[in-house]
Amino acid sequence: MHRLKIAVYFRLSKEDEIPDESNSISNQRRLITAYISKYLGDVEQQVVEYIDDGFSGKNFQRPGFQQLIKAVREGKIGTILVKDISRLGRDYIEVGNYIESVFPFMGIRFISVNDDFDSNNYPEGGVEINTAFMNILNDYYSEDYSVRIKKTLASLQRSGAFLASFAPYGYEKDKSNKHYLRVDVEAGENVKYIFKTFLECGNKAEVARQLSEKGILTPEQYKKSKGSSYNSRYKETTKFWTSAQVGRIIRNRVYLGTVTTHTREVVCTGSLMSRRVPKEEWIVRENKHEPLVSLEVFVNAQLVSVKPPAKKEKRKMGSKDSPIKGFVKCGGCHHVLNRRARLNATYECRHYYAYHNETCLSEQIKEEELLNIVTKVIRQQAKFIMDMSRIVREQEAAKKIINKELQQRETKLIQGINEIKLENMRLYESHKSGELDRSEFLLHKKNNEEKRDNLAAKLEQIKERGREQQDISFGIFDSYLDLQNITQVTREMVKLLVSDIYVYSKNRVEIKFNFADKLSMLYNFYKNVKSDITAFDAGEHYC
Ligand SMILES: [Zn+2]
């Protein structure tokens, strides 16, 4: 055994145009020397170096490598070490041939330090060594690790996987799939109770009071009682429920079965710092788990939430006779107009009469007139919204069909790519067994690779289209449905829909609506959906 030497092979590529210090000969030598003294130190074998400095790994016409193989053939070498498998060469079929066939046949131990590969770990050779080698190759072919992680995360987000560390109150993580939420029966009942009570009383503090009174554990206490080291973002250690806790539950769309991700993103790869993502870029996926409340209950709860706070309510008490009192403001100074309650109530700006402010409303306006205008505008608005929302819904249905079509194409493309992979393996087998000579093999392989790249590019396009498809829920606009045919506004309607009614001189009235942002979102969505459908129809067909 003493006559056998340890061969160390170094290669510095000339094709590595970016100078990479980790691949320098001295670095390769340092790494391998350290490995030898650590793991092969007690073997008293002579170490010989074979060096190819500035040679491509695409072929094996390298003096250092040829010398090494010559020494192998002469039976002088017992062990070969390289920094990584790509040092041996970048023609992985030939490299595989050496590692899987030539070296084992010659009884040579082969070690690739950075790949953590030592042929001594595979005494059976054959399939075992082939699998190990294939695994290493996979790593070479795959992209940079961090890019892969990022892609995995993005695809999890798109699929609607639940990604937060802890399940929200009312749910627990599935034991076999941590990205899936299951209803926690006990807490789930409490969530339903919270929504129900809130719809009845419309007051978060009241809901919190009732929960505390009933002795229901707060979300944090509940987690602790379940033995979880729950770390809430909200440091509420009190054993009493707060209206803030109730509010967070009522606003959380997770209770509709919806998963919202990509609300934050890391500042740069590997960084621990993250930043908020604009709401339009959040990834929202519906029907990902069992809902605890119906869409109707949820939407109603949101509508109750937009009611003006209780304090204002008190101030307006005693004005039940007027649905718009408190909302009517001067277009000039924006102060609430003075209501003169007579048989026919009128409004006027006291700033005009007190200071003769020129921009202020200079006339009196009849409440009856205002009510007619508000009723008419709400009716128009409701009709406009319902028309638009009907179109959007129809288009959404069309989108679902497109999504399905995209998915089918995606599956087909992936199948195609996998078939080519299989075909390549078969070719490689034929080549190894001598059925196919090298030039034929390379020709087939090249053709296959072109086909595969082609399919992969199409797959990427399809995936890109899939990413463009967004889910948006417009359930909130259902509340407009009944408003199209109203004859008289009620105070409830005004509170729900209107934020301000500005009155200017010469009978000009301006009505500002709540949900203005949602309306413009609906409008934009409507526009996008339209252009998207057109683009898709005009687009080429991929398969
Ligand atoms: Zn005024």
Task: Say which CATH number the domain at 170 has.
Answer: 3.90.1750.20
How far does residue 356's CA lie from ligand 1's centre (Å)? 9
Q: Give kind and range of the element (H or E) at residue 503.
A: strand 498-504
* Range(s) of the domain holding residue 193: 158-305
Q: Is residue 488 part of a domain?
A: yes
How far does residue 368's CA lie from ligand 1's centre (Å)? 20
Residue 438 confidence class, pLDDT cut points 50, 70, 90: confident
For residue 303, report the phi and psi dihedrals to the nearest 5 degrees: -70, -40
Predicted confidence at residue 52, as pLDDT, reads 93
Cα angle 228, 234, 238 (rounded to 5 degrees) comes to 75
The answer, yes or no, to whether residue 366 has pLDDT greater than 60, is yes
How far does residue 334's CA lie from ligand 1's centre (Å)? 6
How far does residue 509's CA lie from ligand 1's centre (Å)? 14
How far does residue 348's CA lie from ligand 1's centre (Å)? 8
How far does residue 520's CA lie from ligand 1's centre (Å)? 30
Q: Is residue 207 part of a domain?
A: yes
Last residue of a domain, one of 278, 305, 332: 305
The answer, yes or no, to whether residue 530 has pLDDT greater than 60, is no
The residues whose Cβ lies within 5 A of ligand 1, an ion, are 330, 332-333, 349, 351, 360
How far does residue 364's CA lie from ligand 1's centre (Å)? 12
The answer, yes or no, to whether residue 312 has pLDDT greater than 80, is no
Q: Is residue 329 part of a domain?
A: no
Predicted confidence at residue 197, as pLDDT, reads 94
Structure tokens at 189: 């009942």
How far does residue 278's CA lie from ligand 1's centre (Å)? 38
Q: Is residue 67 part of a domain?
A: yes
Query: Picking from 137-141, 168-172, 324-328, which range would have the lowest pLDDT averaged per residue?
Result: 137-141
Same domain, 256 and 295: yes
How far does residue 366's CA lie from ligand 1's centre (Å)? 16
Within 13 A of 428's CA, how many CA atoms are on the CB side? 16
How far does residue 357's CA lie from ligand 1's centre (Å)? 7
Percent pLDDT > 90 in the chain is 16
Predicted confidence at residue 534, as pLDDT, reads 42
CA distance 190 to 208: 12
Write out the DSSP string of 347-397. Answer: EE-HHHHHH--TTS--S-EEHHHHHHHHHHHHHHHHHHHHHHHHHHHHHHH
Tens digits of residue pLDDT in 58-76? 888 999 999 999 998 888 8
CB distance 478 to 299 below 8 Å = yes
Percent pLDDT > 70 in the chain is 77
How far does residue 355's CA lie from ligand 1's centre (Å)? 9
The more confident residue out of 145 and 500 is 500
The answer, yes or no, to whether residue 267 has pLDDT greater than 70, is no
Q: Give kind and range of the element (H or E) at residue 192.
A: helix 185-201
How far does residue 367's CA lie from ligand 1's centre (Å)? 17
How far does residue 234's CA lie from ligand 1's centre (Å)? 44
The answer, yes or no, to whether residue 532 has pLDDT greater than 50, is no
Residue 502 confidence class, pLDDT cut points 50, 70, 90: very high
For the chain, how many structural domains are there in total? 3
Predicted confidence at residue 313, as pLDDT, reads 42
Same domain, 138 and 165: no
How far does residue 323's CA lie from ligand 1's centre (Å)? 21
Same domain, 412 and 293: no
The answer, yes or no, to whether residue 171 has pLDDT greater than 50, is yes
Same domain, 109 and 180: no
Query: Picking from 143-157, 222-236, 262-276, 527-541, which range would have the lowest pLDDT averaged per residue?
Result: 527-541
How far does residue 373's CA lie from ligand 1's centre (Å)? 20
Structure tokens at 527: 């526009």
Predicted confidence at residue 343, as pLDDT, reads 74
How far does residue 372's CA lie from ligand 1's centre (Å)? 22
How far does residue 217's CA lie from ligand 1's centre (Å)? 51
The answer, yes or no, to whether residue 409 has pLDDT greater than 80, is yes
How far does residue 510's CA lie from ligand 1's centre (Å)? 14
How far does residue 363's CA lie from ligand 1's centre (Å)? 10
Same domain, 392 and 278: no
How far does residue 173's CA lie from ligand 1's centre (Å)? 57
CA distance 199 to 193: 10
Same domain, 136 and 215: no
pTM of the model: 0.36
Q: Fill in the amino acid letter for 148.
A: R
Same domain, 133 and 195: no
How far does residue 518's CA lie from ligand 1's centre (Å)? 30
Predicted confidence at residue 537, as pLDDT, reads 36
Beta strand pairing status for 47-53 and 77-82?
Answer: unpaired
Same domain, 376 and 525: yes
Question: Span 347-372, mean pLDDT?
Answer: 86
* CATH classification of the domain holding 61: 3.40.50.1390
Question: Span 384-399, mean pLDDT?
Answer: 70
Q: Give kind and range of the element (H or E) at residue 493.
A: helix 491-497
Tens digits of residue pLDDT in 280-307? 778 888 888 999 998 878 878 877 765 5
How far does residue 361's CA lie from ligand 1's centre (Å)? 6
The answer, yes or no, to whether residue 543 has pLDDT greater than 70, is no
Structure tokens at 415: 């199948």
Residue 16 confidence class, pLDDT cut points 50, 70, 90: low
How far does residue 316's CA lie from ligand 1's centre (Å)? 20
Predicted confidence at residue 317, as pLDDT, reads 40
Query: Picking from 102-106, 185-189, 364-368, which range would have the lowest pLDDT averaged per residue?
Result: 102-106
Q: Is residue 509 part of a domain?
A: yes
Q: Is residue 51 part of a domain?
A: yes
Q: Fill in the amino acid letter for 353.
A: Y
CB atoms within 10 A of CB 502: 18
How far does residue 447's CA lie from ligand 1's centre (Å)? 79
Same domain, 52 and 173: no
Same domain, 62 and 105: yes
Same domain, 270 and 127: no
Question: Span 411-420, mean pLDDT?
Answer: 84
The more confident residue out of 434 and 518 is 434
Within 13 A of 188's CA, how many CA atoms are on the CB side? 17
How far does residue 376's CA lie from ligand 1's centre (Å)? 25
Q: Is residue 340 part of a domain?
A: no
Q: Is residue 194 part of a domain?
A: yes
CB distance 62 to 52 below 8 Å = yes
Last residue of a domain, one of 255, 280, 305: 305
Q: Which of 215-219, 392-396, 429-433 has the highest mean pLDDT?
A: 215-219
How far does residue 39's CA lie from ligand 1's centre (Å)? 89
How far does residue 325's CA lie from ligand 1's centre (Å)? 16
How far does residue 489's CA lie from ligand 1's centre (Å)? 25
The DSSP code for 106 is T
Question: Span 418-434, mean pLDDT?
Answer: 81
Query: Picking from 87-101, 108-122, 323-337, 498-512, which range would have the lowest pLDDT averaged per residue?
Result: 87-101
Predicted confidence at residue 170, as pLDDT, reads 95
Q: Fill in the amino acid letter for 35.
A: Y
For residue 137, report the phi and psi dihedrals to the nearest 5 degrees: -60, -40
Predicted confidence at residue 475, as pLDDT, reads 53
Last residue of a domain, one of 305, 324, 344: 305
CB distance 476 to 518 below 8 Å = yes
Same domain, 50 and 118: yes
Residue linked to tokens 């399809």: 462
